[in-house]
Structure 1
Amino acid sequence: MLSVKPVSEAGFAAMAEEWQACLAASDANPLFMSWPWLYSWWETWSQVLGMELVLLGAFDQRGELVGIGPFCRRILVTPAGVRVARLYMLGNAWRLAPTVRTEYCGIIARRGYERKVTAAIVSALEHLGWDELICSDVPGDQVENLKAGGFDDLGYRIIHRTDDTGIRIDTTGRFDDWLGALGKHTRLKAYNRRGYLRQQGELVFLDYDETRDGDFFDRLNAFHRKRWGKPAFDREALRFHRLLLQRLYQCDGEPAMSLILYNNHCVSVLYDVVVRGCRYNLQAGYEEDFDTKVSLGYLHLGFAIEAAFRQGRTSAYDLLAGMGKKQFYKSHFHGEALHFSTFQVVRSPLLKALYHIQAASPPFVARAFSRRIGL
């Protein structure tokens, strides 16, 4: 038998070591489900968004933490006056406000306890006040675990919202073999253009050094303002990433930011972090009008992926989910496709009825109904 207990905000702040021990003994993602990531997210956005912490710990008979249910709650009142108590998985604020994107979301459970922990936490959620739960960017295995753990058997309505795909590259083999398996156009952009540039000037890929290169995020935001008309990270996101980098060591992680210099001028930056053998690509910025023959985004990823292959301690390079500006360019990098789902678990009878009307209506009526109701 497992006991499930709520964890206070003070308890959340003080449980880094216990959290990380539980996470390390699980198959949950070591970056996005880590204490440094989720506590930094909570510290940054909880007050801004008016969130209430709903953090559940599952303990065995010895009092050892064997599972974590990371949730938060917000009370919404729609334009039609419908009061909705909405649970979110910690790290996302679906349709509420933009925050950093937390992927691989789910319940953390020590290996061998997955079904027991999920069932215990779903049972505990039954006794809390909420109308719907938003499960964002949940990997495929966790989707099945959550449904089998109780949501399918409780009479809830589950509404699928979006699917997304990420790409993870296995870097345990030889870089030359991976490079040879790429399509010729991708290989040209990610690697062969190095020769073209070196014929005309000095091309250098190097790790970021704050004492030499100034503030990394200032450079990243400058590239994004020029390309997109807005920074990559706003004030809250900057605060989050600075907090994360300060705490990254607590999840056995380290930053892996890099630059490309061309003729001693910085033309591209890449923001990666490495956690437990996986290098995650979080953000990038570069001169869009650098050279019509060169894609700096591809070129910089080629350098970073090569570095992941060359470093023996790195076993994977994760491009994460999300489309590019014009196409799903990540699929060109010869990696494993990973699938994520976002779905709602609806408990309120009123909301079930409203969503049923919405789903049964013609598209233009459904859109008007959604705007009117505000769901």
Structure 2
Amino acid sequence: MIENIAIDKVSEGEFGNMREEWNSLLEESVTNEVFLLWEWMYAWWDVFKDGNRELYLLRGKNSMGETIGIAPFYLQKQTSFGNFRRNIIRFCSSLETYPDHLDIITRKEYGHSFPEAVLNYLNRHDRDWDLIRLDGVHEDAMIKKYLASARPGQNGIVMTSIPSARCPYLVMDKTFDGYLKSFSSKKRQTLLRKRKILMNREKALLKTVRSDEELEKHVQELFALHHERAKRKGIKTNFGGENLYRFHSRAIHDLLKKDKVVLACLHMESPPLVSYYCFKHNQKYYYFQAGLSDEGEKKSAGAVLFSLIIEKAFKEGCKEFDFLRGSEEYKFYWTKTYRKDYSLIVRKDNLMNRMTYYFHAMVGRTLPRIQKIYKPALP
């Protein structure tokens, strides 16, 4: 017998009081990733909510009234091409903070019935939305598997799945020394020599933030070093702005209490040579962001600090080190293995939505070409 699952929409007030219920369910969920924690999701909503966003968080309850699933959505009210308006359902936090491995939250036994109930709810309330755009979706996500099984016209929707990012990761099934033995002799000796020079000869100090008193200064240094490097390299970065700073300060503050944040830096003087911002959750380390000074780059401080953090993860018995999205060369220095994240686009299977979808696809392909050809003269 298939259990009936009731879906309701969670209010903002309820969202603010769901910490224990949310995180307890996440611990039992098939997809248990750090960016699905209540602290991350709620901090994002509290900082970035505005008049063009509506919380669309769906909760599933079984016949006994127990919460068995959460779909952490919000509704983005978007206007484009003049007055053309669309309501787009997205994962909370997916735009400004660029998290990886997102999914709905539910236990394995509800891996089919909960996403089915969510989709049925969305079909019944199809006037609320025009498009569903889910970014940063885990390659094994329950929502991806369920939507992939929905054929065109079935449940009234059509799904497109697009690989969006490679996420390198290291399986930690050895000791740290055993892992280093997987390197070539030259590569291993070079890394150990850099560590010895910086840590022993030049007396660099490893510092890890452990209290709120140290937090604000470290976050300021992280942002400053990150932007210093971006300017030095002539690259654009999305890791900036007052709201993003407020979000990360708050998320770090909340997650540090649960020992789920690792803020580490190498110092010789002030400011630090390098600063890394990592998470740890569910026997995994996640590398999220970094700042590197010009002097630190010359001294290979980034590679040295990476090696120290990876060694720490081995010693703590972690099973994986996740470098998250990005195919940068320095990530593949440590591993050759990667998984993919996906963007899922779900549209209602009707003539108007087909026309809208193909129009936006055509504009998306054509506009960049026009912009390359036509460059207006500077005043």
Task: Tell me the TM-score range normalised by the shorter chain.
Answer: 0.7 to 0.9
How many angstroms apart in 1 are the aligned matches of 2:46 and 2:215?
28
Contact 2:9/2:56, CA 8 A, preserved across alignment:
yes
Looking at structure 2, the residues matched to 26 and 349 of structure 1 have their Cα atoms a distance apart, in angstroms, of: 37
Partner residue, 2:242: 235
Quick one: which amino acid aligns to residue 240 of structure 1? F
Q: Counterparts of 1:40-119 in structure 2 under 5 Å?
A: 40-47=43-50, 50-93=52-95, 99-119=96-116
The Cα shift of 1:364 comes to 4.0
* 1:140 match: 139
Q: What SS does the corresponding residue of 2:33 show, helix, strand or coil?
A: coil
Q: Which residue of 2 aligns with 1:203?
A: 204
- C-alpha contact (below 8 Å) 2:323/2:331 kept by paired residues: yes
User: Which residue is equivalent to 1:215?
Assistant: 217
Shift of 1:121: 0.6
**Distance in 1 between the 2:297 and 2:33 partners?**
38
Residue type at the aligned position of 2:308: F
The CA deviation at 1:297 is 2.0
- Amino acid of the structure 1 residue aligned with 2:109: G
Aligned residue number for residue 30 of structure 1: 33
Question: TM-score, with normalisation over the residues of structure 1?
Answer: 0.85
1:274 alignment partner in structure 2: 280
Question: 1:319 maps to which residue?
Answer: 323
Q: Tell me which residue corresponds to 1:372.
A: none
Unmatched runs of 5 consecutive residues or more in structure 2: 232-236, 372-379
**How far off is 1:106 after superposition?**
1.4
Alignment of 1:2 with 2:5, yes or no, is: yes
Amino acid paired to 1:133: I
Q: What is the DSSP-based 3-state SS (H/G/I as helix, E as strand, rest coil) of the residue aligned with 1:227? A: helix
Equivalent residues of 2:296, 2:302 under 8 A apart: no
- 1:44–1:236 Cα contact (<8 Å) kept: yes
**C-alpha RMSD of the superposition:** 2.9
1:226 aligns with 2:196: no
Q: Which residue of 2 is the match for residue 255 of structure 1?
A: 261
**Amino acid of the residue matched to residue 254 of structure 1?**
K
Deviation at 1:12, TM superposition (A): 0.6
Cα separation, 2, equivalents of 1:156 and 1:354: 14
> Does the Cα contact within 8 Å between 1:202 and 1:264 map onto a contact in 2?
no
User: 1:368/1:81 Cα in 2 relative to 1: closer, same or farther (>3 Å)?
Assistant: farther
- Structure 1 residue 259: Cα displacement: 1.3
**CA displacement 1:156-205 (0-9 Å, x = unmatched):** 34344542111222335200111121356754565431123357421332
Determine the structure 1 residue equivalent to 2:195. 194
Aligned residue-pair number: 357
2:20 aligns to what SS in structure 1? helix
Shift of 1:275: 1.9
- Maintained 8 Å contact 2:123/2:155: no
- Cα 1:336/1:23, change in 2 over 3 Å: same
The alpha-carbon distance between structure 1 residues 106 and 349, as it changes in their structure 2 partners (threshold 3 A), is farther
Q: Secondary structure, in 3 states, of the residue corresponding to 2:72?
A: strand
Alignment pair present for 1:296 and 2:318: no
User: For the residues of structure 1 that align with 2:139 and 2:248, how far apart are their CA atoms?
Assistant: 27
> What residue identity is the alignment partner of 1:273?
F
Single out whichever of 203-212 and 213-222 deviates more from structure 2: 203-212
Instruction: Measure, in 1, the Cα distance between the counterparts of 2:346 and 2:175.
Output: 44
Q: Which consecutive residues of structure 1, in runs of 5 or more, have no partner in the other structure?
A: 94-98, 370-375
- Contact 1:222 1:231 survives alignment (8 Å): no
Q: Which of 337, 354, 357 is matched with 1:355 structurally?
A: 357
Change (3 A) 1:291 1:259: closer
Code of the residue aligned with 2:101 in structure 1: it is: Y
Tell me whether 1:21 sits opposite 2:24 in the alignment.
yes
**CA pair 281-287 structure 1, distance change in 2 beyond 3 A:** same
Supply the AA of the counterpart residue of 1:284: A
Which range moved further: 356-365 or 230-239? Answer: 356-365
By how many angstroms is 1:350 displaced?
2.7
What's the offset of the Cα at 1:150?
Answer: 4.1
User: For residues 273 and 167 of structure 1, what CA distance do their matches in structure 2 show?
Assistant: 15
Per the TM alignment, residue 70 of structure 1 is displaced from its structure 2 partner at its CA by: 1.1
Residue aligned with 1:271, SS: strand
> Identity over the aligned pairs, expressed in percent?
21
Q: C-alpha separation between the residues in 2 aligned to 1:354 and 1:166?
A: 31
- The alpha-carbon distance between structure 1 residues 164 and 184, as it changes in their structure 2 partners (threshold 3 A), is farther
